[in-house]
Structure 1
Amino acid sequence: MPRRSKPKPPPRRWRLPHPPPRFTGRAEERAWLEAALDRGPVTVLAGPAGIGKTALATVVAAERGGVASCLVVSAAARD
C-alpha cells in the first residue's frame, strides 16, 4: 500500500499592522511612496528608528486597500 503524503498546510496569511489612529502631514513622503509603488513592486523605506517608516507604510497600504503588493518588513539593523 503506497504511503500517503501529509497534506500541505494552508498558506499563512499575514496582516499588516494597523495604521496609527492619527497621522497628519508627511504629504511629500506619502506622494513619493504612492508614486514609487505605482512604478514597481519593490520600494524600500529606510531611515533611523522612530522616524515613522512603519506608520507611513501602513497608512499608505490602508489607503490602497491593504493590497498584497504592499509589504511592510520591520527589522532592527546596526552598523
Structure 2
Amino acid sequence: MDHSLITQRLGEQIRQRRLNRGHTQAVLASLANITRQKVIAIEKGDLSVGMLAYARVLAALDCELSVVPAAMPTLDEIHGVFD
C-alpha cells in the first residue's frame, strides 16, 4: 500500500473526530499546542508533518494509533492516482 494513502486516511479520521467533537481547526491547534496550518496539513495527509505533531493532535482528541492490516483502496481514494 502506498504510504501517502495511509496518511490521507489518518488525516480524514482525525478531521472526522475533530468535527464530531465540534472543534474548529483553531481550537484543535490550541489544544494540541501546534499551529492551525499544521492541523490543516495533518488533515490533508501531508507527508512532511512529523510524528510529534500527529501525536499531539491525537492526544488532544483523546485518541491513539492502532496498527491494523491495510484495507484495499476505495475507488474514491485511487481516483487521483491516475491524474
TM-score (normalizing by structure 1):
0.24
More helix as a share of residues? 2
TM-score (normalizing by structure 2):
0.24
Higher RCO (C-alpha 8 Å, min separation 6): 1
